[in-house]
Structure 1
Amino acid sequence: MANQSSSYPILCASFNQDNSCFAIGTRNGFKIFDCNTGRLLYQRDVGAFIIVEMLYRSNLLAIVGAGEQPSLSPRRLCLFNIINGTALRELNFLTSILSVRVTRKRLIVVLQEQTYIYDVNNLEIKRIIDTVPNLKGLCAFSTSLENPYLALPASTMNGSVLVYKVIDLNTHCEVHAHRSPLAAIAFSSNGMYIATASEQGTIIRVHLISDATKSYSFRRGTYPSTIFSLSFGPSTDLPDILLATSSSGSVHVFSLGLDQNERSRKSNSFLGSIMPGSVSDVLDPAHHLVFHHVFTAGVKSDAVVRKIDKASGSSMSEHIALRATVSVITFSGYFQEYGFRLNHKNEATWTLEHEYNLLTAIAEETTS
């Protein structure tokens, strides 16, 4: 998630694939933190960076400079080894790199009108996708071994998404999600679902990838707002919750684990008989919780659901249906960890458990 505006001290922020660590880029360099402890693991002060992507907890980083000095061109991708502080390989492009995603098998590089897919082991180009103008570098990349999908905008006029299989390199489907252009895309951890938000930011939609069908629609609000990030809760099946951060300074939690009997009752109601299920979900506030003033309105943010415990566990209180750990990075320079609890009456509590200043953090052992 990159931001080139000088109004923020953080230029980019991203969680690694299992949300155990995160990296930030600033005008001075980049830093890597442990999500569980908030501890600064690594930093390097060599100039401004707009992309810093981790490969799980390995020594490999994919980094792109902000172009404020010749050696850190935004057209050059560097695969960097943090152990010895050297560049393993460099890839140069004709235009600026807007996004990078990496897994153990594939490296994705997003330019304004092209997306490159590489074999991460030998950096062989597997496919070059010509895209519609993608000024924001929007993309989503599923890290699931069973469903390794890549999603890219399909139109500049509406919120359609093209989904590709990155192993066999074929187009899988096109999802027609919104009438307005896209603002955010995210896959569930199992790669089975994709969440989208448009530039209007009023509706969040979730589609099942296997047949491109709409599973859920949620109304975030009545007035337009910029959606900064989308994140599913970790799950091997249907995710329990979907998280969204918006320019209003709020975090929105949408419940996906809707009881099937409740769906059946809804479909048998008068409203359900004249409206499709996805539309009636939009009108149902019971599955949308809003936590206001989590961060300053207008400040960019990225948030993920790191852990989830459900009521089936013996350690859970009988009154608690779901407990989650939510981590938020603000581009103003803070990392916040919240405890989210939801009871069986759909009543929620939201507790700030930890907060760290990312700009003043000092590593126990600095390798820079």
Structure 2
Amino acid sequence: MANQSSPYRILCASFNQDNSGFAISTKDGFKIIDSNTGRLCYDRAVGAFIIVEMLYSSSLLAIVGAGEQPSLSPRRLCFFNTTTGAPLREMNFLTSILAVRLNRKRLVVVLQEKTYIYDSNSLSMLDTIDTVPNLKGLCAFSPSLEGCFLALPASTAKGAVLVYNVMELQLHCEIDAHRSPLAAIALSSNGKYIATASEQGTIIRIHLVSEATKSYSFRRGTCSSTIFSLSFAPSLQLPDILVATSSSGSVHIFSLGFETNQRTKKSGSFLGSILPYSVNDALDPAHHHVLHNAVSAGVRSYAVVRKVDNVADSSSSEIASCRAIISLIAYNGYFQEYAFTLNSQNESTWSLEREFNLVAVISGNAETS
């Protein structure tokens, strides 16, 4: 989530692979913050960075400068050790680096028309993917070694996405998800599902990666809106929920955990009996829950689902309710965390658990308000 020409205090924000920590950068430097406590883990004031990527909770960072200083070129990727405070290795490219993703086996570097795959340990190049012009550096990456996929735009004219198996170094599939170009893509952490939104921003679609088939189609709204981020809940199977942020300032949650029960109930209705499930879901807002005005309209934001707890009904094996922890970074400099609760009657509640100023956070626990 980098923005080189950002008018906001935050230039980039990124959570690590398990959402236990996150990094932000400003014009002055970057910070690493613990997601659970809000504690500042690392702070380095050495200039502006457009990319700061963590490798889980290790001391390794992949960082790219914003170009405001000769030593912080946007064409140079630096591996940095937070324990020693020293660079480990640098890699230079012919054009600006737009995105970086990594796990314990693979490193992905996204340029405007090329994407490079490296071995994370030796940094030896494994493959090069020629892509359509990808001006925003749009990509998604599933860090699981069992389902390690990379998703990239496959067209500039429509919302087609290329899914590449990063471990096997081969194209897995191409999915035609939208009629308009892509604005946001996300892979579940296990690589089983991919979520997409187009530049129109009215429909969110979820595909099963293994079969390249559409599983869900949700309507976000009827008016166009820019989708800033998509993120699945962490899960080994079907993610419970998908969270999205948009330029309207709202946070959207699409619930998947109760999908089977809800569809069984809808199948007896007139609409449910004549429309395919995917179309019915797009028309029916039953699985869509919105927190309005979470941030000011137009302010870029980034949300992840850090945790989901399901509560089973004591009289049956069905899920009675779920409680999710949603962490939100607003690029105007604030962190918010919400508890979202949903019961089997599709009734939801939101509560703000904590909020603090990211730019002002110092060593020790962040002050909440």
- TM-score category of the 2 structures, normalised to the smaller one: over 0.9
SS of match in other structure, 1:279: helix
Do 2:16 and 2:55's aligned partners in 1 also have CA atoms closer than 8 Å? yes
Could you tell me how far 1:347 is from its partner in structure 2?
A: 1.2
Q: Residue in 2 aligned with 1:53?
A: 53
- Secondary structure of the residue aligned to 2:299 is coil
Q: More displaced, 162-171 or 320-329? A: 320-329
Corresponding residue number in structure 1 for 2:20: 20
User: Relative to 1, partners in 2 of residues 1:65 and 1:273: Cα closer, same or farther, differing over 3 Å?
Assistant: same
**What SS does the aligned partner of 1:176 have?**
strand
Counterpart for residue 263 of structure 1: 263
Q: Distance in 2 between matches of 1:362 and 1:209?
A: 42
Where does residue 74 of structure 2 map in the other structure?
74
Amino acid in the other structure paired with 2:306: R
| Residue correspondences, number | 362
Instruction: List per-residue Cα deviations over 1:135-179 (Å, max 9, x = no partner).
Output: 000000101121000100000000011101101101001111000
Would the alpha carbon gap of residues 321 and 213 (structure 1) be closer, same or farther in structure 2, given more than 3 Å must change? Answer: same
Cα deviation, residue 262, structure 1: 3.7
> 2:285 — aligned with what?
285
Q: How does 1:1-368 map to 2 (within 5 A)?
A: 1-267=1-267, 269-312=269-312, 321-364=321-364
- CA RMSD of superposed structures (Å): 1.7
Q: CA deviation at 1:352?
A: 0.6
Change (3 A) 1:106 1:281: same
> In 2, are the aligned partners of 1:320 and 1:341 still within 8 Å (CA)?
no
Q: Tell me the secondary structure at the aligned position of residue 352 of structure 2.
A: strand
Paired amino acid for 2:153: P
Q: Which runs of 5+ in 2 are unaligned?
A: none
Cα contact 2:105–2:145 (8 A) shared by 1: no
Relative to structure 2, which stretch is displaced further, 261-270 or 176-185? Answer: 261-270
One-letter amino acid of the counterpart of residue 121, structure 1 = N
Secondary structure of 1:143's aligned partner = coil
**Per-residue deviation at 1:69?**
0.6
Q: How far off its partner does 1:190 sit?
A: 1.7
Aligned CA distance change for structure 1 residues 113 and 343 (closer, same or farther; 3 Å)? same
Give the SS at the match of 2:322: strand
Q: Does the Cα contact within 8 Å between 1:195 and 1:207 map onto a contact in 2? A: yes
Offset at residue 274 of structure 1 (A):
3.4
Q: TM-score, normalised by structure 1?
A: 0.95
Secondary structure of the corresponding residue to residue 121 of structure 2: coil
Deviation string for 1:298-338 (max 9, x for gaps)? 11111011011111288xxx996111111001101111111
Q: From the superposition, tell whether residues 319 and 196 of structure 1 become closer, same or farther in structure 2 (CA, over 3 Å).
A: closer
**Residues in 2 aligned to 1:153 and 1:341: alpha-carbon distance in whole angstroms:** 34
- Asked if structure 2 preserves the Cα contact closer than 8 Å seen for 1:234 and 1:306, the reply is yes
Instruction: Find the aligned partners of 1:152 and 1:334 in 2 and give their Cα distance.
Output: 29
Query: 1:10 aligns to what SS in structure 2?
Result: coil
* Pair 1:169–1:313, CA change in 2 (3 A): farther
| Contact map agreement 2:145 2:167 (CA 8 A) in 1 | no
Q: Structure 1 146/83 Cα, relative in aligned 2: closer, same or farther at 3 Å? A: same
- 2:310–2:319: 8 Å Cα contact kept in structure 1? no
Contact 1:305 1:324 (C-alpha < 8 Å) held by counterparts: yes
| Alignment partners' CA distance in 2, 1:119 and 1:232 | 26
Matched-pair identity in %: 71
Name the TM-score, length of structure 2 as normaliser.
0.95
